[in-house]
Structure 1
């Protein structure tokens, strides 16, 4: 075993510990980088000397030849990634739905002691007071004021609910642009990775960037991710990822090719938002996602459901309540008390308090006021979404508010549960992939000591060579 081999061992040790130190420094530098996975240099002992052979020197045993950094490994658990993405889609869906319902509650000012139901009750109570034989001019003026307050409440709710639906349509348009950018960035990373891997490189940082983008995509859609393995010198190495929307099955990314994603007007001219504006659908590589072919799971699904179902249903309920109220109150009052046809344009048609519950010029007659007040508990047929429901004005109003409260609470609970599970899975991911500065500092000291020892080995061998070159053969001079 020559001194040259000793220098080679020391050189290899220096290079291996240096690579470990550089990788540790890279970890520390990216301790707070989103999506970064901790890296580790895998050290392996090199082949010993001499190699087994029938012609070797026959010396006893083999002498080691040092160490080499065989690879730089990215510490990441693929199973946890699958779990995380499977739950993250639920976070996106439930966040969108809870956001919509919470905003509907704000519009109706419910739950509150001054909300929509309170305004309705105040209107009915004003008629109860007029139905008393002693009701005078100020009491009848109160009926008009309460009627105007109710009409204005209907007008505001109708306007704001339609604006909310329009806002969710705008969000879908915005997400279409974000999705298009995401899938194209993933396809670009697939291309970069594909150009490096066949040449023996393992682009860990590119893998991290791609996984972070796939995580973001998984919040918007329920996706299938397939990693294509590449055989490099007998080893399987990750290459491109192919991504599909699960239901309906649509290709998002295939190798270096990304689907074109855009928002476009609904095909049917009659398919409008409640305010008459254009309703937008998603076009993914020629496949249209709309109410008839909506995605299952993810933020996009939550936005579409909220726009087309949740918000739309409350617009229809409020309008149905207003239109029935106009019809029934006017019929019982004889002379039109309300003007308009629904929540959008309901108003009070009477301005003179003497015209309130005035039966054939007999202001003292309270039969009309009793008839109008009785409507609060009269069974009426309400038609919402093609379904007929027979109930009273009071019960229908209460059902709107209670249903909204129950749906909002359910959506909030689902959102919080999904967020909690996602955080737990992410904590498990971080326990493997996350960077601990304390641990990295400990590793740095370890690698520094090993590097110093390897450098000391070079010094010792240098001294040995000096003795051989300059100290031998001078005896007796």
Structure 2
């Protein structure tokens, strides 16, 4: 026979369970705007009914329920959406940073504008055309020198600015490396805390949220896969365990390395052992390129070519050399610019040397700061080109005349070599080469912009679906609050009713005839 006071205990349990639900709902409302917070719910389960089935069970109509209990407070997450989001976040991180790199270069090149290389070249060619008409005019010669200086200064400025932007990328790489290592350390520490709590039957929802938020941020830096480990001890079914984190390639497969003749997957966090591998980025001796990217002792050349994320975009932008020569956005652009400037200056100097100045001077270079001996060496040409000292010291050294022209005026009326100098424009096709560089840059910027938008939109779509599952809806929470409040009030009313029944039995029975 069940106890006379059975109803009180059943109602008490109901009040406690729904009070826990009200507190959990209040916590959801309080954290509605907390980044990374996942809404929580109380899992209600029935208490063991009375009596248990058996041969000696009392003869009553059936089992009598003994109430409800708040079994656990569980956060609401959808693991599949988390996997989707992190994969797309890596792509979005790569294309967002790539587009940022190309946009900075476009802004620097400043095409088309009055101060661009293209417009400066046009003015220089025009000054040579004007000089061919008035080769003896000091003003025309001064304009040629000024515009030659302006052209060299523009080349210098573009080269120096590109290199400055490149060094900014190096600083950003250093900062991002520290961020990645900080996140890895924090995730590893959270793994350890979770492993200490779960075996005692607790659900550390706050730790889960903190860990998932860090993993989400990490996924924008490197392409990762998260694998959960089974919880130990007396962990409840909803426990999420520690996590292992692996690096993935562009196809979504785990990156592997060869070690002692064995193929091993690259694990950056080991939840079972409570350890992690730090990211290191090593630069070459002259610091002009990245020479090594590694996690711990595992060198990852494949990370640059196959694993998307912000780190990959930064390394590709700055430049890298893993034994096959320097590659990357800035090194390749500077190389193209140096070769263009070098070819232009070498050809221009050759034509200038073939001419004669007003005072009969010949074999004079118009430009210096480039290698005229080894004409294949274009290294840093755009950074070092300048108008030669001979031209800067004396305008008469500008070779507007040809050596075949002779007369009493000392070549004063001959502007044929000035025309030859102007023809260098077509001979080495500086304009065409430069427009090719600009055109290629524009295409890459547009492509990166489109991919940034596409991956960003897809990431936002997945994030919207995640928020539909995990975020706090104030309307829904208010509905739950009313529902739990009514259940709590009903349980309290039940206690009042049972109390009245007991009062009748205790105080108002067995007094007949008094």
TM-score by length of 1: 0.90
Specify the alignment match of 2:369 in structure 1. Answer: 340
Does the alignment pair 1:259 with 2:277? yes
Does the alignment pair 1:318 with 2:367? no
CA contact under 8 A between 2:135 and 2:414: conserved in structure 1?
no
Query: 1:293, CA displacement in angstroms?
Result: 6.2
The Cα offsets for residues 63-111 of structure 1, whole Å up to 9 and x where unpaired, read as 2221122222211110110110001011211122111111111221134
Which secondary structure does the structure 2 equivalent of 1:229 belong to?
coil
Matches within 5 A, 1:294-443: 296-308=307-319, 309-334=328-353, 335-341=364-370, 342-349=381-388, 350-351=391-392, 352-359=394-401, 361-378=410-427, 380=428, 392-443=429-480
Q: Which moved more, 1:19-28 or 1:45-54?
A: 45-54
* Separation of aligned partners in 2, 1:227 and 1:111: 54
Query: 1:137, CA displacement in angstroms?
Result: 3.3
Q: 1:237 to 1:307 in 2, by over 3 A?
A: same
Which secondary structure does the structure 2 equivalent of 1:238 belong to?
coil
Aligned-pair RMSD on alpha carbons?
2.2
* Separation of aligned partners in 2, 1:111 and 1:328: 26
Q: 1:163 to 1:320 in 2, by over 3 A?
A: same
Q: Which residues of structure 1 form unaligned runs of 5+?
A: 381-391
Query: 1:240, CA displacement in angstroms?
Result: 0.9
* Separation of aligned partners in 2, 1:13 and 1:431: 30
* Separation of aligned partners in 1, 2:66 and 2:302: 68
CA contact under 8 A between 2:166 and 2:318: conserved in structure 1?
yes
Which secondary structure does the structure 1 equivalent of 2:383 belong to?
coil
Q: 1:223 to 1:210 in 2, by over 3 A?
A: same
* Separation of aligned partners in 1, 2:235 and 2:436: 68
Specify the alignment match of 2:208 in structure 1. Answer: 207
* Separation of aligned partners in 1, 2:513 and 2:136: 140
* Separation of aligned partners in 2, 1:64 and 1:291: 62
Query: 1:291, CA displacement in angstroms?
Result: 8.6
Among 457, 482, 502, the residue aligned to 1:465:
502
* Separation of aligned partners in 2, 1:61 and 1:402: 84
TM-score by length of 2: 0.84
CA contact under 8 A between 1:111 and 1:405: conserved in structure 2?
no
Among 240, 243, 255, the residue aligned to 1:241:
243
* Separation of aligned partners in 1, 2:457 and 2:424: 47
* Separation of aligned partners in 1, 2:194 and 2:172: 33
Which secondary structure does the structure 1 equivalent of 2:35 belong to?
coil
* Separation of aligned partners in 1, 2:447 and 2:235: 54
Q: Which moved more, 1:123-132 or 1:204-213?
A: 123-132
* Separation of aligned partners in 1, 2:11 and 2:135: 110
Specify the alignment match of 1:161 in structure 2. Answer: 162
* Separation of aligned partners in 1, 2:277 and 2:236: 33
Q: 1:299 to 1:155 in 2, by over 3 A?
A: same
The Cα offsets for residues 320-372 of structure 1, whole Å up to 9 and x where unpaired, read as 12211211111111231112112112112213444334325313212211111
Which secondary structure does the structure 1 equivalent of 2:412 belong to?
coil
Query: 1:295, CA displacement in angstroms?
Result: 6.0
CA contact under 8 A between 1:3 and 1:461: conserved in structure 2?
no
The Cα offsets for residues 102-129 of structure 1, whole Å up to 9 and x where unpaired, read as 1111221134354222112222222222
CA contact under 8 A between 2:201 and 2:236: conserved in structure 1?
no
Query: 1:32, CA displacement in angstroms?
Result: 1.0
CA contact under 8 A between 1:265 and 1:279: conserved in structure 2?
yes
Query: 1:263, CA displacement in angstroms?
Result: 3.9
Among 268, 272, 278, the residue aligned to 2:287:
272
Query: 1:135, CA displacement in angstroms?
Result: 7.8
Q: Which moved more, 1:63-72 or 1:283-292?
A: 283-292
